[in-house]
Amino acid sequence: MKERHYKSLPGIPVLIIALVLPFIGAGLGIYFGTRGHVAAALLSTVPTVFTALFLFSGLYKVEPNQSAVLSLFGKYVGTTRTQGLRWNNIFFAKKKISLRIRNFESGRLKVNDSGGSPIEIAAIVVWEVTDSSEAVYNVDDYESFVQIQSEAAIRSMASIYPYDPHEEDEVALRSHPIEVSTQMKKEIQERLTEAGITVIEARISHLAYSPEIAQAMLQRQQAGAIIAARTRIVEGAVGMVEMALDSLKEKGVVDLDEERRAAMVSNLLVVLCSDRATQPVVNTGSIY
């Protein structure tokens, strides 16, 4: 059920007329009553009062960024978004819908990532109503619908990606926030379209391993970091040793045989790759 615009009358002129009519009726009633025309007095007073009540009953206000969904005896008539004091048929039921931008933060959901590891995830969803009639008539409670469907979409999205990337350029929850947010927004939008809701933004607000495996995963991350650091150190040390040997050979400082070159390489790698300070041994005699 798509929203369609329905015209409404300005409420200020109607309000003025409704306020003036009882005074007019009362004046006419007094005029005819003083002359003994009781029937004429009643006919001039009662209709004006009922007309004023009729006009008052049709008044309603529409605030900025708000819409009024109008229905007549259960049938959808239309929607008005013109702000201010408005007037429509008194038999119209008027349902006010906020069009303001709102946000919703999910609770911390416990789900399994693509590798089966239990994680905790929460997200913030920024949304707004763009079709008032769908929000009213397609779902019972659109605000509750947003919350439940958003959490379902977050669970579905979290099971697609791993927590940490296991391969180069692999999209993961922790390392690729932009890609994950785009996918999350798409998942949530697909579920909320039928309710006339537009998702503006969706981003992860909390992400962590579940407490029962958090310590083990922390150790794994630390081990990975240590291995990566050691790899960089070894690569740098090998380059420095190669540069030192080439420099000694080019400048003719010393001519080493294969056995002495191997010993020198071993000593340099120990010095460069050790995580503790090494104690140097000074050779005061011949190198051989």
Q: pTM value?
A: 0.68
- Classify residue 19: in a domain, yes or no: yes
* CB neighbour class for 73 (10 Å; exposed up to 12, middle 13-18, buried from 19): exposed
Query: What are the beta bridge partners of residue 62?
Result: 84
CB 79 within 8 A of CB 69: yes
Dist CA 116 CA 111 (whole Å): 9
Dist CA 32 CA 256 (whole Å): 134
Same domain, 113 and 91: no
State residue 283's pLDDT score.
56
Number of domains in the chain: 3
Per residue in 8-57, pLDDT (tens digit) is 899 999 999 888 887 777 776 666 666 665 566 566 677 787 888 888 88
State residue 191's pLDDT score.
93
Dist CA 135 CA 144 (whole Å): 11
SS (H, E, C) the chain: CCCCECCCEEHHHHHHHHHHHHHHHHHHHHHHHHCCCHHHHHHHHHHHHHHHHHHHHCEEEECCCEEEEEEECCEEEEEECCCEEEECCCCEEEEEEECCCEEEECCCEEEECCCCCEEEEEEEEEEEECCHHHHHHCCCCHHHHHHHHHHHHHHHHHCCCCCCCCCCCCCCCCCCHHHHHHHHHHHHHHHHHHHCEEEEEEEEEEEEECHHHHHHHHHHHHHHHHHHHHHHHHHHHHHHHHHHHHHHHHHCCCCCCHHHHHHHHHHHHHHHHCCCCCCCCCCCCCCC
Same domain, 268 and 225: yes
Structure tokens that stand for 112 in this block: 């399994």
CATH code, domain carrying 125: 3.30.479.30
CB 189 within 8 A of CB 157: no
Dist CA 160 CA 176 (whole Å): 13
- Classify residue 73: in a domain, yes or no: yes
Dist CA 267 CA 274 (whole Å): 11
Q: Which stretches of the chain score pLDDT less than 50?
A: none
51-to-15, 22, 33, 54 alpha-carbon distances in Å? 12, 9, 21, 5
Dist CA 45 CA 33 (whole Å): 11
State residue 282's pLDDT score.
54
Same domain, 29 and 70: yes
Residue 229 sits at φ, ψ, to 5 deg, of: -65, -40
- Classify residue 280: in a domain, yes or no: no
Find the domain containing 246 and state its range.
214-273
- Classify residue 37: in a domain, yes or no: yes
- Classify residue 153: in a domain, yes or no: yes
- Classify residue 129: in a domain, yes or no: yes
Same domain, 90 and 108: no
Same domain, 56 and 148: no
Spatial strand order in the sheet of 92-98: 75-80, 66-72, 92-98
Domain boundary among 51, 68, 95: 95
Dist CA 276 CA 255 (whole Å): 30
Structure tokens that stand for 155 in this block: 């669970």
Domain boundary among 209, 241, 259: 209
Same domain, 90 and 130: no
- Classify residue 288: in a domain, yes or no: no
State residue 172's pLDDT score.
87
Same domain, 151 and 176: yes
Same domain, 20 and 41: yes
